[in-house]
Amino acid sequence: MQNSALKMGYIWTICLVAACGGLLFGYDWVVIGGAKPFYEAYFGITDPAVSGWAMSSALVGCIFGALVSGWCADKFGRRLPLIASAILFCASAWGTAMASNFDMFVVYRIVGGIGIGLASALSPLYIAEVSPAEKRGRFVAINQLTIVIGVLAAQLINLLIAEPVAAGATQQAIVESWNGQTGWRWMFGAELVPALAFLVLLFIVPESPRWLMKAGKEARARQTLERIGSPAYATQTLNDIAHTLAKDAHRVSFSTLLQPQIRPVVIMGMVLAVFQQWCGINVIFNYAQEIFASAGFDINGTLKSIVATGIINLIFTLCALPLVDKIGRRKLMLFGASGLTFIYVLIAGAYALGIMGWPVLILVLAAIAIYALTLAPVTWVLLAEIFPNRVRGLAMSLGTLALWIACFLLTYTFPLLNASLGASGSFFLYGVICALGWIYIQRNVPETKGVTLEALEEQLAVRHQTSVSAKERNAH
């Protein structure tokens, strides 16, 4: 389909609105890192287990949100659950900022986590379903860009709100300071502004035409597609969708994902989702304070270093946008896995040899640059496009669920790994995981750039059948 048939301004508008879910995901996920020294002082948190629960409680909500996102997407479409996620973000921002005790703080963190779980599954899914095939990678990668913008916004707002902390300040001094009484509340409450904007803007976004076709609403699907492209584009896309949906009109359930022709693709999506988390980068974002402190930075220096990670993350995510469709998904994933393996070995060596300060910061920034250029955006692109039309909502839910469970395990286990293996051993382990990820991608992940979702479904089905036939020949 020629680009002239597409109304790019409209496509950009609806994709950017949907991607605001990613921005709130990024903000809500990272804001707690900068606020940590201050809300811990306010609530009197000294037990490492309680501290870990405060950090990871939102991930419990993420897991639940991801678990129900597939059912919500198939039952109510893509748009209504995104509206629900915006409402949850608003409630979380208000509730955490106003929390008078630790239990209420955790409850509202979990509420925000549910919003993250929904948005993280549905924003890229929606974008993939309204984007033209030749530009789909770039548009879905916008979701990762907005996540990164949300991350950087949280880091900058934390830095701007926090007043300088005196060297050697005691816990009691922090409690009595403006940071300890009010500052951390403003850090969480600031999310209310973009959350309300996301909620309002979602009312101008149409429902996914692919879900409308699946729900038997062809007229509305055509209307949406004709706003995206020409009547000819709408007709061709409707025919392609109808062709794939006609193959199986049965009711879709989680058991459908276990069917022989679908299960390998679902497993691939889950492995990629887990790998994106277990590659270790998110440890740097969640435990930046501890990592930079171990490298010799004080609280003020750590806050500035955290902002540096966010800036690098944003710059290289912008670089990734054209590369996803130009270079392709598979090559970028392979480069990311190998590059992180190499850098993690260097970081492990730096800690082992006692090389602290700036060398560690530079290596950390290099790791973030590679991750932002490759695994971060490309994983979401692949998850949004590899699953068949009729099960895409449920399969995306399962892939995102795997991602958040992996994120929870990563976040929860890092303090334990750090205590038993040290920073050196922990980063070496992440390097081993990245090497294993490279092997899996090399053997199992196909290239998907420039292929329509319907044609990709056909290709993956043929690929599975070829693999089954080869195994049967070998058995005989």
What is the residue type of 377? P
User: What pLDDT sits at residue 371?
Assistant: 95
User: What pLDDT sits at residue 212?
Assistant: 92
- Tokens encoding 439: 């092997």
- Number of Cα atoms under 13 Å in the Cβ half of residue 189: 10
The closest of 7, 8, 24 to 82, measured between CA atoms, is 24
Q: 250 or 200: whose pLDDT is higher?
A: 200
Mean pLDDT of the chain: 84
- Tokens encoding 64: 């639940």
CA 410 to chain centre: 14
CA 93 to chain centre: 19
Segment 316-328, tens digit of pLDDT: 988 988 888 888 8
Segment 129-154, tens digit of pLDDT: 888 877 887 888 888 889 889 988 99
User: What pLDDT sits at residue 89?
Assistant: 95
**DSSP 8-state code for residue 183:** I
For residues 377 and 320, the answer to whether their CB atoms sit within 8 Å is: yes
C-alpha separations of 228 from 9, 13, 208, 224, 454 in Å: 9, 11, 11, 6, 18
CA distance 275 to 10: 34
Q: 216 or 423: whose pLDDT is higher?
A: 216
Residue 403 has pLDDT above 50, yes or no: yes
Scanning 177-279, the segments in alpha helix (DSSP H) are 178, 184-189, 192-201, 209-214, 218-228, 231-246, 263-278
Residue 1 pLDDT class (50, 70, 90 cuts): very low
Bridge partners of 229? 6
Scanning 44-135, the segments in alpha helix (DSSP H) are 48-76, 79-98, 102-130
Residue 445 has pLDDT above 90, yes or no: no
Average pLDDT for 238-265: 74
Residue 83 has pLDDT above 60, yes or no: yes
What is the residue type of 37? P
For residues 407 and 62, the answer to whether their CB atoms sit within 8 Å is: yes
Contacts (Cβ under 8 Å, ≥6 apart) of 66: 117, 118, 120, 121, 397, 400, 401, 403, 404
Residue 454 has pLDDT above 90, yes or no: no
Average pLDDT for 335-346: 96
Bridge partners of 6? 229
CA distance 13 to 232: 22
CA distance 110 to 123: 20
Q: Note the pTM of the prediction, 2 decimals.
A: 0.76
Residue 193: CB atoms within 10 Å: 11
For residues 454 and 302, the answer to whether their CB atoms sit within 8 Å is: no
Give the chain's largest Cα–Cα span.
76
Q: 346 or 240: whose pLDDT is higher?
A: 346
For residues 426 and 300, the answer to whether their CB atoms sit within 8 Å is: no
Contacts (Cβ under 8 Å, ≥6 apart) of 213: 221, 238, 241, 242, 245
For residues 279 and 371, the answer to whether their CB atoms sit within 8 Å is: yes
Residue 118: CB atoms within 10 Å: 31
Helices 392-444/48-76 angle, 10° precision: 110
- Tokens encoding 344: 């993690």
What is the residue type of 391? V
Q: Which residue matches tokens 């270079």? A: 327
For residues 22 and 150, the answer to whether their CB atoms sit within 8 Å is: yes
Residue 468 has pLDDT above 60, yes or no: no
Residue 2 pLDDT class (50, 70, 90 cuts): very low
Q: 275 or 34: whose pLDDT is higher?
A: 275
Segment 70-80, tens digit of pLDDT: 889 888 999 99
Contacts (Cβ under 8 Å, ≥6 apart) of 80: 72
User: What pLDDT sits at residue 114?
Assistant: 95
Helix, strand or coil, per DSSP, at residue 46: coil
Residue 295 has pLDDT above 70, yes or no: no
User: What pLDDT sits at residue 476?
Assistant: 57
